[in-house]
Amino acid sequence: NLTLQKWPFTSSNTTVQESFVCAHPSYTSRIVSYDPLIIHLENFITPAEREYLINRGRPLLQRSLVANRDGGPPIERPARTSSTAFIPYNDTTAYCIQQRAAEFQGFLSVRKIEMLQVVQYKQHQEYRAHYDWGVASAHKRERESTIYGILKGDCEHCGTQFPEISVDWSGEDERWCDFVECEETEMLTFKAVAGSAVFWKNLHDDEEGDRRTLHAGLPVRNGTKVGLNIWTVV
C-alpha cells in the first residue's frame, strides 16, 4: 500500500491499494490558447471511469459551496446552484485520474492534486462567472491550474464559458465545432462532451490570479450535466 497525504483538506494519511491497475486512456490534447494557456483534452476520462465516478459521487452529493471572501468556511450562494461530491483520496479510480492529471502537467507530484470533486447540475442549475483562484488561506494553497472534465453531458446549452476570451473559429478547422460553440466570436464556450476535459492555467508566473480565466458553468437546459473538478495547487 501507498501512503498519501490528504492535502489540502486534512493532514492525516490515507492508503490506496497498490494492486489496482491504473490504465490511462490515450487521450488527445489540443492547444486552444497560448496565453492564457488553455488545452482541450479529448477522451481524458474513460467511459468506465465516468460511470464509476457518477455512481461513487451520487450518495455524497451536497449543495455546492463557494469560497467565503471573509476567510470563514465556504458558503451557499445563488451564483452556484449545483451539487458537489468530494471523492475520498483512498478511491483507486480517483487516484488514477489524479495521477494522470499530475503527469500531464509534467510529472508533478500527485500530492498537488486536490481531492476530486464531482459536480452535478440539474435543470436550470449553474455556476455563474467566477475564478477558480483566490482560494488561498492558512489551510489551503492557491490553485495553479484547473482541469474540468465532463462525466455526463446529456443537456443543452450547458457548456463552460469564458467571457473574457474570444476565438474566431471561422478561420479554424471545423472539427473544433464538436468541442466548442464555433459560431460564437465574443466568448469562448466549450460544449459539455462526455469524456473531454479542459485544462487552463489560473495564475500568472508571479502567482497572481489571471483575470482572463473568468468562466461560468452555463445554466443547464433540458437534462443533467455532471462535471469533474481536478485542481492543482501551487
The residues of the shown chain that bind ligand AKG, judged by CB under 6 A, are 119, 127, 132, 148, 160, 215, 217, 227, 229
Q: Which is nearer to ligand AKG, 96 or 151 (CB)?
A: 151
Give which of ligand AKG, Fe ion, none residue 229 binds (C-beta under 5 to 8 Å, depending on kind).
ligand AKG
Sheet holding 197-201, edge to edge: 28-34, 37-42, 197-201, 143-156, 221-233, 117-121, 83-86, 62-63
Neighbours of 64 (CB within 10 A): 22
Does 49 bind Fe ion (CB under 5 A)? Our answer is: no
Q: How far is the CB of 223 from Fe ion (least distance, A)?
A: 20
Does 114 bind Fe ion (CB under 5 A)? Our answer is: no
Q: How far is the CB of 161 from ligand AKG (least distance, A)?
A: 8
Restricting to residues 129-158, which ones interact with Fe ion according to CB under 5 A? 132
Burial 153-180 (b: 16+ CB within 10 A, else e): bebeebbbbbeebebebeeeeeeeeebb
Q: How far is the CB of 132 from ligand AKG (least distance, A)?
A: 5
Whole-angstrom Cα distance, residue 117 to residue 147? 11
Q: Which is nearer to ligand AKG, 16 or 114 (CB)?
A: 114
Q: How far is the CB of 34 from Fe ion (least distance, A)?
A: 21
Q: Rounded to a whole number, what is the largest CA-CA distance in the chain?
A: 51
